[in-house]
Amino acid sequence: MEKLLRVKVHPDSRENRLQDKGPAAYEVWVKAAAERGQANASVLSLLAARLGIEAKRLRIIKGATAPSKIVAVLGA
C-alpha cells in the first residue's frame, strides 16, 4: 500500500521551505534549479525530512518535469 501526496514545486527559490496545504498536499520552494533532476531531488529530501522517513521511500509517479507532482510514499 502506498500513500499519494500532491506537491506544487517552485524551483530556483531564495530558500528551501515546505508548507502544508492539506492532509496530503504540500507546496515546496527549493533553491535548486529545475534541471537534471536537481529540484526533484531537493523536493524529495525536504518531504522525507518532514515525514520522518528516508528519501528512498519517496517516488515521483507523475509530473517529473512539471511543477505539479504526485509523489508516492512507498510502504505507507
Instruction: For residue range 3-24, list pLDDT tens digits in order.
Output: 999 999 999 999 999 999 999 9
Domain count, the chain: 1
What integer pLDDT is reported at residue 35 of this predicted model?
93
The residue among 26, 21, 70 whose CA lies nearest residue 47 is: 26
Instruction: For residue range 32-67, list pLDDT tens digits in order.
Output: 999 999 999 999 999 999 999 999 999 999 999 999
Enter the pTM of the model: 0.93
Q: Which residues contact 27 (CB under 8 A, 6 or more apart)?
A: 7, 8, 10, 18, 19, 21
**Is the confidence at residue 76, as pLDDT, over 90?**
no
Domain span at residue 45? 3-73
What integer pLDDT is reported at residue 1 of this predicted model?
66
- CATH (domain of 27): 3.30.1200.10
